[in-house]
Amino acid sequence: MTPRYDVLIVGSGHGGAQSAIALRQSGFEGSIAMVGEEADLPYERPALSKDYLAGAKTLDRILIRPPTFWRERNVALLSGRRVVSLDATAHHVITDTAETIAYGRLIWATGGYARRLNCQGHDLDGVHSIRRRTDVDRLIGELLFSRNVAIIGGGYIGLEAAAVLVELGKQVTLFESQDRVLARVAGEQLSRFYEAEHEAKGVTLELRAAVDRLEGVDGRVASVRLRDGRSVAADLVIIGIGIIPATAPLIEAGAMGEDGAEVDRSCHTTLKDVYAIGDCARRQSTFAGGAAIRIESVQNAADTAIAAASAIMGQTPPHDAAPWFWSNQYDLRLQTVGLSRGFDAAVVRGNPRDRRFSVIYLKDGCVIALDCVNAAKDFVQGRALVVAGARIDPAQVADPSLPLKDIALSLTY
């Protein structure tokens, strides 16, 4: 007999877990199942490139909820299965274990797969990504006999891994194809600050570095060959160049979308009774000028999960929350609120040499985002400026002695 659930959640990461949690908190009494590719209970992925990689936290300490939580709330965990096809008319999915599972409503929360290099040598032993707990376990095992680590990609994953590994005594070289790290997500002031911090810790940065291929010996990676002809020794390589949304079965079933499934404010796809949330969904955002975008963050996964759960419960989805994100590198705590894409001015508040400062991003004179380094008060208080799209005096906001909450209160929106 084909099992059927009132709500079937495909994906057991932050978005999937929060969907089940939100439904039960809203009083949903129907049956819920969560299908996940991994054997583990839902866990916090951001820790993988930070505390988990460093050995500071074990799996049980990064679980989103303890095992008893799911049992007590009657959420069936169908682990170790991958949904390979979806029939939106018949309301069922088929897994890679040839199971057919029927549903009343479906929440697609699969996130994405780590983007791989497409050059020669990408499949050598010793080449890793950081997306799943098992990825990091394999990486940790190989660190025992690795000395020279190459990281390809200067985004947050690459920088966080670099910070952990250099402190573990590894020789770390980070390759970034653009002219600065964090080029896709932050302004030059923040990029240059983090470049200086990593270099001071011993990380070698190779900017404008075009990787030609990975070279190996006896099937294992041994070096990174650049297009300028240079070869850099590497007995372990970490690829951190983004993700590919895991939406193939959804799109094949007829859902609309490129680089993520298109959803409305309630996270409903173009398929009946099918929702998509988190990293794999493209949703209009007030904080992107109304454009439909994918936001890869825990906060977005949770917010879109709540939106989908609200819709299923017949409730009005909550208003857009200001996107936020964090990154830990060394003793630096970066907190970001808003989306800086499209900014036309940036104000530095405080002195980066003090390792406590913020960058405030403006567009047409209005605040659209803040990057706060070891400046938690700015992050908390600056949220109001972002939410309001406040028009501010750059000289005033640059003065760190003036709390941002006072600036926010003094403004007329």
Do 258 and 212 sit in the same domain of this protein?
Answer: no
Q: Pick from 185, 217, 239: which residue ends a domain?
A: 239
Task: Residue 346: name the closest of 243, 198, 238, 193 by CA.
Answer: 193
What integer pLDDT is reported at residue 379 of this predicted model?
Answer: 97
Backbone φ/ψ region at 206: left (φ over 0), alpha (ψ -120 to 50), beta: beta
Do 250 and 109 sit in the same domain of this protein?
Answer: yes
Backbone φ and ψ for 44, nearest 5 degrees, come out as -85, 110
Question: Domain range for residue 335?
Answer: 331-410
What integer pLDDT is reported at residue 331 of this predicted model?
Answer: 96
User: Residue 89's domain is classified under what CATH number?
Assistant: 3.50.50.60
Do 144 and 234 sit in the same domain of this protein?
Answer: yes
SS3 breakdown of the chain: % helix, strand, coil, rounded to 5? Answer: 30, 30, 40
Residue 318 lies in a domain: no
Task: Residue 132: name the closest of 222, 45, 242, 235 by CA.
Answer: 45
Pairing of strands 292-293, 281-284: antiparallel
First to last CA, the chain: 59
Task: Residue 182: name the closest of 327, 298, 322 by CA.
Answer: 327
Do 249 and 101 sit in the same domain of this protein?
Answer: yes
User: Residue 387's domain is classified under what CATH number?
Assistant: 3.30.390.30
Residue 195 lies in a domain: yes
- pTM value? 0.95
Exposure string of 210-236, with b = 16+ CB inside 10 Å and e = fewer, is: ebbbbbbeeeebbbbbbeeeeebebbb
What integer pLDDT is reported at residue 412 of this predicted model?
Answer: 53
Q: Residue 181 belongs to what H/E stretch? A: none
Q: Where are the beta strands (DSSP E) in 300-344?
A: 324-329, 332-338
Contact partners, residue 401, CB within 8 Å, separation at least 6: none
Do 128 and 139 sit in the same domain of this protein?
Answer: yes
What integer pLDDT is reported at residue 320 of this predicted model?
Answer: 84
- For the chain, the domain total comes to 3
Q: pLDDT tens track of the chain, all 413 residues?
A: 899 999 999 999 999 999 999 999 999 999 999 999 999 999 999 999 999 999 999 999 999 999 999 999 999 999 999 999 999 999 999 999 999 999 999 999 999 999 999 999 999 999 999 999 999 999 999 999 999 999 999 999 999 999 999 999 999 999 999 999 999 999 999 999 999 999 999 999 999 999 999 999 999 999 999 999 999 999 999 999 999 999 999 999 999 998 999 999 999 999 999 999 999 999 999 999 889 999 999 999 999 999 999 999 999 888 888 999 999 999 999 999 999 999 999 999 999 999 999 999 999 999 999 999 999 999 999 999 999 999 988 888 999 999 998 887 776 54
Residue 65 lies in a domain: yes
